[in-house]
């Protein structure tokens, strides 16, 4: 079980959540080994369709990221994402880290 960044993040990509995560498990939109720094050098065009992701293998479910998101894009778990018709984002979060959601 993991917190999941949902479709509302697309084209927002605020990165406030990244700075509060105690285990540094929020990454993207491009690199899994950076903490969203690439967003600062990307143009609005380059950010189109992009979002941040949470590493499901590292998230400790603390909830610190949730109030930081200006567009309420973060689900408390996979089930909450599914109940918001956003299973696609669950798969995207897992797949960004080379994992598979089953
Ligand atoms: Fe990081 Fe906690 Fe959010 Fe998980 S719930 S992504 S550990 S801040």
**How much is the pLDDT for 101?**
97
**How much is the pLDDT for 60?**
98
Distance CA 52, CA 82 (A): 18
78 Cα–ligand 1 center, Å:
14
**How much is the pLDDT for 35?**
97
From residue 34, how far is each of 4, 72, 79 by CA, in Å? Answer: 18, 22, 27
Residues of the chain predicted below pLDDT 50: none
**How much is the pLDDT for 96?**
98
- Is residue 63 within 6 Å of ligand 1 at its C-beta? yes
- What are the respective helix, strand and coil percentages of the chain, to the nearest 5? 35, 10, 55
**pTM for the structure as a whole:** 0.96
CB-CB contact of 63 with 23 (8 Å):
no
| Phi, psi (deg, nearest 5) at residue 92 | -65, -45
**How much is the pLDDT for 11?**
75
């Amino acid at each position: 079980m993991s917190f999941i960044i949902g479709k509302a993040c697309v084209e927002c990509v605020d990165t406030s959540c990244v700075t509060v995560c105690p285990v540094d498990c929020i990454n993207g939109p491009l690199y899994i080994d950076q903490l969203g720094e690439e967003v600062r050098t990307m143009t609005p065009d380059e950010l189109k369709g992009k979002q941040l992701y949470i590493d499901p293998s590292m998230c400790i479910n603390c909830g610190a990221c949730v109030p930081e998101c200006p567009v309420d894009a973060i689900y408390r778990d996979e089930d909450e994402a599914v109940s918001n018709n956003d299973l696609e984002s669950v798969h995207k979060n897992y797949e960004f880290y080379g994992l598979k959601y089953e």
